[in-house]
């Protein structure tokens, strides 16, 4: 039976000695792979090193990138530098990058936008998918995606931890992107998000935890971990009126289509 992929977690937020047990719990929950996502290019070596925890029954991959909350710390600025860091078989994607206007001061927005474009250019050059973070910045994320596709051609991307409105989902899908849902989908006040989740084409769906954040129901109040992707996947299957096993098969096939370097 096809297992689930946690397409977005942060293993670097867990102590190394806790990871083997974390992987055991994930495997017991039906997870067969996870991607530990980079949030600072200065820590790319650490992300790559975490892939050493990969094992035959549960694969660990990584991405490299700088989260918009950390752009002021980032000394690696241009696409060529990102390409150099991503030129490694352990790296299956670029990111996370994007725009976050919830945390960032308005004065930082131009820098976030510039770094976002650099990550897009690196993803295009490497033919790797870009993991996109969007928070309180839907219009500008959509505008940059449209602009970059028009100027440089299409590239692969994933709108991760999707919690935006239907318009960003529509634009992302129109441009060839994929959409990933996290534990937010299970929250009591997420009716609007559940409405969006019902509309995403089945060949563009992924699931994730964004652990250690955003633990899904029934784990609210606990530290999130990759095993809990099964709860989000179960809720998504319920919303779409399909069996959990079918949801796992679809989302895992989508993951491997998007993250084609994963093996």
The verdict on residue 137 lying in a domain is yes
Q: Collapsing DSSP states into helix, strand and coil, what is residue 204?
A: helix
CA separation for the pair 93, 131 (Å, rounded): 7
The verdict on residue 124 lying in a domain is yes
pTM of the model: 0.97
Residues with Cβ within 8 Å of 126's Cβ and at least 6 positions away in sequence, in order, are 83, 86, 87, 94
How many residues are recorded in the chain? 263
Judged on CB neighbours under 10 Å (0-12, 13-18, 19+), 53 is middle
Which residues carry a binding-site annotation for a divalent metal cation? 8, 10, 96, 133, 160, 210
Q: Collapsing DSSP states into helix, strand and coil, what is residue 124?
A: helix
The verdict on residue 93 lying in a domain is yes
Residues with Cβ within 8 Å of 244's Cβ and at least 6 positions away in sequence, in order, are 230, 233, 234, 237
pLDDT of residue 261: 97
Residue 171 backbone phi and psi in degrees, to 5: -65, -45
Q: Which two tokens stand for residue 125?
A: 């050059």
The verdict on residue 145 lying in a domain is yes
The verdict on residue 263 lying in a domain is no
pLDDT of residue 103: 84
Handedness of CA 210, 137, 238, 251 (dihedral sign): negative
The verdict on residue 10 lying in a domain is yes
**Residue numbers of the domain that contains 171:** 4-258
Report which secondary-structure segment, H or E, holds 119.
helix 109-126
> In this structure, what CATH number is given to the domain that contains residue 208?
3.20.20.140
What does the angle CA 116 – CA 43 – CA 178 come to, to the nearest 5 degrees?
40
Domain count, the chain: 1
Which residues carry a binding-site annotation? 8, 10, 96, 133, 160, 210
Print pLDDT tens along the chain (263 aa).
Answer: 789 999 999 999 999 999 999 999 999 999 999 999 999 999 999 999 999 999 999 999 999 999 999 999 887 769 999 999 999 999 999 999 999 999 878 999 999 999 999 999 999 999 999 999 999 999 999 999 999 999 999 999 999 999 999 999 999 999 999 999 999 999 999 999 999 999 999 999 999 999 999 999 999 999 999 999 999 999 999 999 999 999 999 999 999 999 999 97
CA separation for the pair 7, 167 (Å, rounded): 23
Q: Which two tokens stand for residue 151?
A: 């100027």
């Amino acid at each position: 039976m096809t297992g689930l992929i946690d397409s977005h977690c942060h293993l670097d937020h867990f102590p190394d000695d806790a990871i083997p047990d974390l992987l055991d719990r994930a495997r017991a929950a039906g997870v067969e792979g996870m991607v530990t996502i980079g949030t600072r290019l200065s820590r790319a070596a650490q992300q790559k090193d975490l892939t050493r925890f990969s094992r035959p029954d549960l694969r660990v991959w990584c991405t490299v990138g700088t989260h918009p909350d950390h752009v002021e710390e980032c000394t690696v600025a241009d696409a060529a530098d990102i390409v150099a860091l991503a030129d490694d078989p352990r790296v299956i994607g670029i990111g996370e990058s994007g725009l976050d206007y919830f945390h960032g001061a308005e004065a930082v927005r131009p820098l976030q936008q510039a770094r976002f474009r650099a990550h897009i250019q690196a993803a295009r050059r490497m033919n790797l998918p870009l993991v996109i973070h969007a928070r309180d910045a839907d219009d500008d994320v959509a505008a940059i995606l449209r602009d970059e596709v028009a100027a440089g051609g299409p590239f692969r991307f994933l709108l991760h931890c999707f919690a935006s409105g239907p318009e960003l989902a529509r634009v992302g899908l129109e441009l060839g992107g994929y959409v990933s849902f996290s534990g937010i989908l299970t929250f009591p006040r997420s009716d609007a998000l559940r409405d969006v989740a019902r509309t995403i084409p089945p060949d563009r769906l992924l699931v994730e935890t964004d652990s250690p954040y955003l633990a899904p129901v029934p784990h609210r109040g606990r530290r999130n971990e990759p095993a809990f992707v099964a709860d989000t996947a179960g809720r998504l299957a319920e919303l779409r009126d399909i069996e959990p096993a079918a949801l796992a098969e679809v989302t895992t096939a989508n993951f491997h289509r998007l993250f084609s370097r994963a093996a």
